[in-house]
Amino acid sequence: MTIGDAIASLARADRLLVALDFDGTLSPLVDDPMSARMAPAARDAVDAIASSPDTTVALVSGRSLSDLRVIAEHGDDSVLLLAGSHGAEHWTPADGTRHPAAGEPTAAERAERDRLRAEAEALVAGVPGAWIEPKTFGFAVPSRTVAADERAELHARVDALMAAQAPHWRRRTGHHIVEYAFRAEGKDTALAWLRAHTGATAVLFAGDDVTDEDALGSLGPGDVGVRVGPGQTSASVRVAGIPELAQMLVRLAHERTRTRE
C-alpha cells in the first residue's frame, strides 16, 4: 500500500482513530527518557489531525501513564486519549486517569515489584551508565547509555534474576531497553480498548519498535499500520522517520477535512 492509497482510504472513514506510539515515532530517542518531547513537526501534525472532522487521536506507549503525560506535555484540557503501560493504564478527557478492570496494583504486587526493582538496581550498580527505570507494573533496564560491549552482560544479569524469581512476568525488548511487567497487556489490548471506546470504523496506528508490532499485527481490513524506520514489520506502510510520518499525518488531516466538507 502506498502512502497515497492509505490517506485516500482513511480520509473516507466515518469515524477515524489515529493511535501513535511516542518514543521514536513522535519524539527522537534520547539518553534521558524524561527529556523526550515531540519533535516540532510531529506536534504540529498531531494538532492538525486531532482537529480534523470525526477523528480521535491517542498516544499509545509503554511508558507509565504519569510519565507519558509529562513527556507529551499533556494537560487535563487535552483532547488526546492516552494508553500507558502498553494499555494497562488509560486517560480520557471525560474520565481522567483510570485503570482497566484489574485495577491498581495490589499491595502484594507493589511489594514484589519494589523488591525485584531493588535487586535489579543492585545488580546493575557497578555498570557505568546503567540504571533501572521504574514502571507502574514493573521496571525497565535501559542500556542506551551503557557501553555497547557491556549491554549483553547487563541484560543477562537481570534476565537471570527474573527467570529465577518472577518467570511469570512479561519480558519485552525495544531499542536498547528490556522491560519486565507483572501485567500482560500489549499495545493490541490498548488498540482494542481505544477502538471500542471511540467507535472507530478505521484505525491508523504508527510505531517504530518491536512492542508496536502487537498493535500492528492486530489491525484489520480498512485499517492502516505505519512502521516508522527500519525493522521487520507487519505494517502496510513504511516511512523513513518522524518528519515523514508528520508529513503523512498533515496530508491526511487536509484530505479528511476536504472530503468531509
Catalytic residues, which ones? 21
d(CA 205, CA 19): 5
Q: Give first-to-last CA distance, the chain, whole Å.
A: 26
110 Cβ contact partners less than 8 Å away, ≥ 6 residues apart: none
DSSP 37-62: ---HHHHHHHHHHHTSTTEEEEEE-S
- 65: which strand partners? none
Q: Supply the angle between the helices 242-259 and 3-11 in degrees, to the nearest 10.
A: 40
Q: Are the CB atoms for 63 and 85 separated by under 8 Å?
A: yes
CA 236 to chain centre: 18
